C-alpha cells in the first residue's frame, strides 16, 4: 500500500508519551495539560491530550477557542464551568463539540486522556 495514502498512528505510544509529559509536570507540582499532534488531514488536526489539574480551586480564568473543538474522552473526566456559571462534566466514553468562542474554564480532577480534533484552517 502507498504510504502517502495511509498513515497508521501508534495511538498507544502517543498516549504513553502524552501521559509521561503530564506526569513529569505533576511531579513538579504543576498542572498538566499536554497535547501531542498525531495526525492532520486538510488542516484538520488530531491530538492526544493528557492532563490533570492539581492547583485549581475556582474558575476565575475563562478562555475561548477560535474554532470548534471535538473531543473524545478515553479515561478520566473534564469538568467545564461556563462564563454564566453553568457546569457540566464529560466522562470517559463520552465526546463533545465545544463551539468556537464559547467562554469556558476546564479542569481535570484526575488524570484524563482524550483525543481532540480541530479544524485549524485560517488560524
Percent of the chain with pLDDT over 90: 69
Mean of pLDDT values over 67-75: 95
Looking up cell 476565575 gives: 60
Q: Tell me the CATH number for domain 11-119.
A: 2.60.120.10
Domains in the chain: boundaries: 11-119
Rounded distance between C-alpha atoms, residue 109 and residue 2, angstroms: 43
pLDDT tens by residue, 3-60? 567 788 899 999 999 999 999 999 999 989 999 999 988 888 999 999 999 887 666 6
Rounded distance between C-alpha atoms, residue 83 and residue 106, angstroms: 11
Rounded distance between C-alpha atoms, residue 103 and residue 91, angstroms: 20
Sheet holding 77-82: strands in order across? 87-91, 77-82, 104-107
Q: For residue 37, count CB atoms less than 10 angstroms from its CB and return exposed for 0-12, middle for 13-18, buried for 19 or more.
A: exposed
Amino acid at each position: 500500500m502507498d504510504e502517502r495514502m495511509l498513515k497508521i498512528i501508534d495511538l498507544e505510544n502517543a498516549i504513553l508519551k502524552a501521559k509521561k509529559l503530564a506526569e513529569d509536570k505533576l511531579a513538579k507540582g504543576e498542572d498538566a495539560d499536554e497535547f501531542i499532534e498525531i495526525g492532520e488531514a486538510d488542516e484538520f488536526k488530531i491530538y492526544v491530550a493528557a492532563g490533570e489539574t492539581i492547583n485549581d480551586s475556582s474558575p476565575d480564568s475563562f478562555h475561548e477557542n477560535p474554532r470548534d473543538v471535538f473531543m473524545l474522552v478515553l479515561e478520566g473526566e473534564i469538568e467545564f464551568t461556563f462564563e454564566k456559571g453553568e457546569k457540566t462534566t464529560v466522562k470517559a466514553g463520552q465526546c463533545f463539540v465545544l463551539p468556537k468562542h464559547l467562554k469556558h474554564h476546564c479542569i481535570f480532577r484526575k488524570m484524563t486522556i482524550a483525543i481532540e480534533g480541530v479544524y485549524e484552517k485560517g488560524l
